[in-house]
Amino acid sequence: MTLLLVLTSLILISIAVWQLTKILELSKPTGYENDEIANNNDNDIQGKLMFLFLIFIYSLTIFSFFKYGDVILPESASVHGENYDNLLWFSFSVIFFVQTITQALLHYFAFKYRGNKDRKALFFADSNFLEGVWTIIPTISLAGLILYGLYTWVDIMTIEENDEAIVVELYAQQFNWKARYAGDDGVLGDANVRFLQDFGGKNLVGIDPTDKNGDDDIVVQELHLPVDREVVFRIRSQDVLHSAYMPHFRAQMNAVPGMINQFAFIPNITTEEMRLKPEIVEKVRKINKIRYDKSEELVANGEFPLDPYEFDFLLLCNKICGASHYNMQMKIVVESQEDFDEWIGNQLTFKEFVK
C-alpha cells in the first residue's frame, strides 16, 4: 500500500514538473533562443564528453584487469573442463576484440563529427558493399562461435556407457545438499518425497523401503569422489528449483522437483594436489589476509576471530531458492581410489542407518 502511494505521488510530482516547464516555455518572450535545441556550443561539449567517456571506460577496463584479474576460477579440475575453458576464452577474446574496436570507433566518430552549423553531412542512399561487409562478417563469426559451442556442449553432455562409473545422487532441499551413493549393487533405490517421514525422519532423501536396491544406498552430507573415475550425477530436488553448481569442475545442472537430471564428469585433480597449486596458494593467502585483518577488528571488539580458510572444492546452489540460498553448499573431497574406498567403507548403508 505504501509503495502504491509513493509511486502515485512520484507520478503526480512528475506530471506537475512537466506542466510547469510547459508554462515556463510558453511564458518566454518571442525571439528568445529555444534552449531545447542544441546549439554549436552544446554539440561541442557533448562531442568532447563522448571522447572523455571513451577514455573513462578503457581506463576502467584496464584497472579491472589488474585489480580483479586474479579472482577468476582456478584451473579446471575435471577432464571436460579444459574444452569448456577453451570455448569460454575463445568467446571472450572475440567479444573483447570486437567490442574494443567498435566502442573506440563509435565514441571517436561522435567526437570527431560533433555537430557544427558550418559542416554538412555527406548524403548517399545506400552502399551494397557496406551492407555486405556488415552482414557477412558477423554471420560467419557468429555461425563459427555457435557451431564451436554446440560441438563442445554435445561433447560435455554425452554420457558414455561405462561400467566403471560411480553413480551419485545429489539431493537438494531448502537449504542443504545430500548425496547418495548406489552402494555395492551400483543401482540407486527408488525414492519419493512420500517416504521422507518414514523411520522417524531418518529417511533423509526418501528412499522407497520396499525397493531392495535401496538397502545398500549410502546417504552422506560430504561428497567424496575418487580421482580419474567417471561420476554420473542424478540430480533431484525436494522442494523448489535449485541448481547443482560445481564451479571448479565447470559443471552446473538444475535440480527440478519431480524430475531427475543427469550430468557426468571425471575429476582429474585431487583436493590435496589442488591445494598445492601456486595459483591456489596465492588465492588462499589473499583470502586469509582479509580474514586476518577482519579478525583483528573482531578481537578488538571482544568477539571471536575467524578461522583461517583452507581450499576445498564445493557444490553450491546457483538458483536463488530462498532466504538461506547463499549458504546452501556441500564440501567435495577428491581423493585417491584407496582413500575413497576407506571412507565409503566407514559410512552406514540405508538399512543400517534406519535400523
**Max Cα-Cα span within the chain:** 95
Stretch that binds Cu ion, among 21-29, 78-86, 328-336, 343-351 (CB under 5 A): 328-336
Least separation in angstroms between CB 172 and Cu ion: 6
Considering only residues 287-326, where is the footprint of Cu ion by CB under 5 A?
Answer: 317, 321
Rg of the chain over all Cα atoms, to the nearest angstrom:
30
Of 87 and 321, CB closest to Cu ion: 321
Q: How many residues bind Cu ion (CB under 5 A)?
A: 4
Residue whose C-alpha cell reads 509513493 in the numeric block:
6
Sign of torsion over alpha carbons 84, 315, 272, 228: negative
Of 321 and 332, CB closest to Cu ion: 321
Stretch that binds Cu ion, among 59-67, 144-152, 236-244, 342-350 (CB under 5 A): 236-244
To the nearest 10 degrees (0 to 180), the angle between helices 81-112 and 40-68 is: 160
Least separation in angstroms between CB 256 and Cu ion: 12
Of 58 and 175, CB closest to Cu ion: 175
Least separation in angstroms between CB 279 and Cu ion: 29
Least separation in angstroms between CB 318 and Cu ion: 8
Considering only residues 63-92, where is the footprint of Cu ion by CB under 5 A?
Answer: none
User: Residue 299: CB partners within 8 Å, gap ≥ 6?
Assistant: 305
For Cu ion, the binding residue among 315, 328, 330, 332 (CB under 5 A) is: 328
| DSSP type of residue 307 | P
Smallest CA-to-CA distance from 173 within 263, 77, 242, 104 is with 242
Beta strand ranges found along the chain (DSSP E) = 166-173, 176-181, 218-220, 223-226, 231-237, 242-246, 251-255, 261-265, 313-317, 329-335
Q: How far apart are CA 87 and CA 80, in angstroms?
A: 11
| DSSP type of residue 267 | B
Least separation in angstroms between CB 255 and Cu ion: 7
Of 13 and 320, CB closest to Cu ion: 320
Least separation in angstroms between CB 215 and Cu ion: 29
Q: Rule CB under 5 A: say whether 242 interacts with Cu ion.
A: yes
Of 191 and 321, CB closest to Cu ion: 321
Stretch that binds Cu ion, among 25-33, 84-92, 237-245, 339-347 (CB under 5 A): 237-245
Least separation in angstroms between CB 248 and Cu ion: 19
User: Residue 192: CB partners within 8 Å, gap ≥ 6?
Assistant: 206, 208
Smallest CA-to-CA distance from 171 within 207, 205, 222, 221 is with 205
Q: Rule CB under 5 A: say whether 235 interacts with Cu ion.
A: no
Of 182 and 330, CB closest to Cu ion: 330
**Which residues are near Cu ion by CB under 5 A?**
242, 317, 321, 328
